[in-house]
Amino acid sequence: MWLNLVDLAKVKAFVDLTIASTVRQGAQSLLTTTGLGGMKPNTVAMGFYDKSLPVDNLDRCYESLMKKPRILRRIFKYDDLEKFEMVYNHLPKLRVAEEDQPLKPEEYVHMIKDAIVMGKNVCIMRHFENFNKRVSLREHPYIDVWPIKCKPGDRARDDTFMLVLQLATILHMVPEWKSHTKLRVFMIVETNADKEKKEFCDMLKDLRIQANFQMISPVGGDSLSGYGSFGNAKSQPAGSVPLYQEIHNFMKEYSSDASVIFTSLPPAPDDESSYLDYLQCLDHFTADLPPVVMAFGNMPVMTTSM
């Protein structure tokens, strides 16, 4: 069934299946077994965990196609129609109520941390159910990047910083996106803005990334480097960490006309009792924004060494 779905969707991908008693155990199994020989995936993409109900786009697609048999006969072969009907009839039904959610919030955060512990990059997507490429590229002609780099020398932050840039650049290299959008990079700075701007522009030049660059200073000159991360803020609710609140406000102000936003994934806390606060923070961090990708880098993804 899943092979047929990938085939019909015209997606170039390998399909791996597993059987497990919980979603987390299944994810752990896939993290350790996926790949072909020495070719192992290095990035895990996950949907966003919230209370919104999923939209059955396949259902709408199936109904519209079945209403146009002549077009179907032109587009699909008979075998493809059989595959489509099999996929449509055998896929698990989507939940229709909040209490139908089989994945617990704590389990979801554990899955993020499992992927990071196993050396994977992690991307979490939100609001892409609202994305319409034909409309978005015309009305929102920007791909925005909001890298968060507030601890020099921190490898995890450096890798995340570069991963966010790389993902946005790869998307912008797609011909349709390149012809309809511009790449913008927003950097939040505190002091020595001229020096940081020169260093960052030199880095973009070395990496051959063509982007409009804009520097933003915190309101009132507040320091961002002193803000705690979620991992060591046990006494402070994750949703109240000032750094990410401030960045959310900036993204909402400057990126309302973007098709997609790429930014850093806030680190998950060590204390399991803070997991719900962490998810609440992610909710606040990305609320009322265009489609957004939060990424955590776990390995170097760019180099200027030749």
Q: How far is CA 67 from CA 79, 88, 100, in A?
A: 18, 15, 31
Q: How far is CA 245 from CA 81, 278, 284, in A?
A: 48, 13, 8
pLDDT of residue 304: 66
pLDDT of residue 123: 97
Please give the average per-residue pLDDT across 247-276, as a whole number: 92
CA proximity to 124, closest of 184, 44, 56 = 44
CA proximity to 289, closest of 265, 264, 254 = 254
pLDDT of residue 77: 54
Helix (H, G, I), strand (E, B) or coil at 116: helix
- pLDDT higher than threshold 90 for residue 52: no
pTM here is 0.84
CA proximity to 189, closest of 147, 228, 143, 160 = 147
29-35's contacts with Cβ under 8 Å and 24+ in sequence apart are 31/114, 31/115, 31/118, 31/120, 32/118
* Host H or E run for residue 262: strand 260-264
pLDDT of residue 155: 54
Helix (H, G, I), strand (E, B) or coil at 144: strand
Give the position of tokens 């070719």: 39
Q: What is the pLDDT of residues 277-298, one digit of tens each?
A: 999 999 999 999 999 999 999 9
